[in-house]
Amino acid sequence: MKISIKKVPALYDLIYGAFALVMLIVAIVTTLPNGFSFTSVGATLMTWANHLWWLTVPGIIFHLLSYFVSQHSRLLTVGNIIGLCAFIAFILIPNYSVFALIGLVVAMLLILRGANRSHRMREESEVS
């Protein structure tokens, strides 16, 4: 699979999603000695978001660039919008990062499916 501006956001979604999952697990483990509560996990994530917000900026930029390049494909457009919303959610409401992670997975799947469909359509038009 060739790397293109359409598929780079999916790669960054995968990398950042793995990082966010590890961050969520560490936040849960960190709060376990005091007793597990969603409030304390959310507070921990909010504290960390002040220091790690800049990691979401490349994801926002990648999704914006891919969005402008892939206006012709509905799957790519929807995937980029969902990915953009997920990265903004990581900045604004990090205590709901589980939902943002789900958004990243959905965005990644839509982008990859849309890129493959776009590639197949281009090959079919070249053959005809």
Per-residue burial over 85-116, b = 16 or more CB atoms within 10 Å of its CB, e = otherwise: ebbbbbbeebeebeebbebbebbbebbbebbe
What token pair was written down for 113? 């499916």
Q: CB atoms < 10 A from the CB of 47, how many?
A: 11
CA distance 44 to 27: 6
DSSP state of 54: G
- Residue 119's H or E segment, with its range, is helix 97-127
Higher pLDDT, 124 or 68: 68
pLDDT at position 5, please? 84
What pTM did the predictor assign? 0.87
**pLDDT band per the 50, 70, 90 thresholds, residue 54:** very high
